[in-house]
Amino acid sequence: MNGTQTIKRVLRRATGRDRPKTVAPVPLPDYEIPVPEAEPLAPVTLKLRDDRRVNVRHICPEDADRLVELFWRLSADTRWRRFFVPLDNVDSELVRRTARRMAAIDRRCEVALAAVACEDGHERIVAVARFACPKAADETVEGSIVVRDDYQGAGLGSQLLHLLIRAARMRGLRTMTIFTQGDNPAILTIIRRMGVPYTTSFATGVYEITLHLAG
């Protein structure tokens, strides 16, 4: 499923026009992203510009409640930029269901990195970067990233995207596409200065930025 289809699907679900009664299993593609023998991505500690530290690790099913909490702490603007639909009055059951699905990662065909901070003695997810493989091995993977508002602007997004790209390269993937609105200076700034070659195209208000991971 490409990004435009994803956006349309999210839009239909958010407006209740296509809300499923039960959560259908996500069909697996007919190939697997090789999981590296030694996975150097998790956990790593990132130091932010304001001296805060977060640990990055792979998401696990036990993170579902943390993803729900993260969602409710995102501003309307951040939700819009990540999910492409206004999610002010979203159904809480839909949020829980989606979080469960997004936490139940199949490492053979998905990578989801969580940046975790310890706050008030609780482990909280403050950012997530992820990609899911497409239906065929030669298609591009679709990457996405979100950082909780009170952690934005401190260098977390840049570092996390670097880790995501590293994970994609380790799996031999050649391209990663990120969809964004045209007026998203933060993600555009990050991508421009990352040093990874990229191409862009623009359709129906959405920028498609394709990172060329092979160099």
Which span sits near ligand COA by CB under 6 A: 27-35, 101-109, 134-142, 156-164?
156-164
Smaller CB distance to ligand COA: residue 140 or 144? Answer: 144
* SS3 label, residue 56: strand
The strand order across the sheet containing 44-47 reads 44-47, 53-58, 110-119, 122-132, 141-147, 175-181, 206-212, 198-203
By CB under 6 A, residue 157 contacts ligand COA = yes
By CB under 6 A, residue 155 contacts ligand COA = yes
Structure tokens at 36: 């590296």
By CB under 6 A, residue 158 contacts ligand COA = yes
Shortest separation between residue 107's beta carbon and ligand COA, angstroms: 21
Distance in angstroms (rounded) separating the CA atoms of residues 120 and 144: 28
By CB under 6 A, residue 105 contacts ligand COA = no
CA triple 164-31-177, angle to 5 deg: 35
Which span sits near ligand COA by CB under 6 A: 1-9, 97-105, 110-118, 139-147?
139-147
CA triple 59-65-69, angle to 5 deg: 105
**Between residue 159 and residue 188, which ones bind ligand COA under the rule CB under 6 A?**
178, 180, 184-187
Smaller CB distance to ligand COA: residue 68 or 128? Answer: 128
Q: Binding-site residue total for ligand COA (CB under 6 A)?
A: 22
Contacts of 174 (CB under 8 A, 6+ apart): 140, 212, 213, 214
User: From residue 1, how far is each of 4, 25, 204 by CA, in Å?
Assistant: 8, 15, 17
* SS3 label, residue 173: coil
**Between residue 43 and residue 102, which ones bind ligand COA under the rule CB under 6 A?**
78, 81-82
By CB under 6 A, residue 130 contacts ligand COA = no
Shortest separation between residue 77's beta carbon and ligand COA, angstroms: 7
Among 117, 126, 154, 211, binds ligand COA (CB under 6 A): 154
The identity of residue 124, as a single letter, is R
Binding site for ligand COA (CB under 6 A): 78, 81-82, 144-147, 152-158, 178, 180, 184-187, 189-190
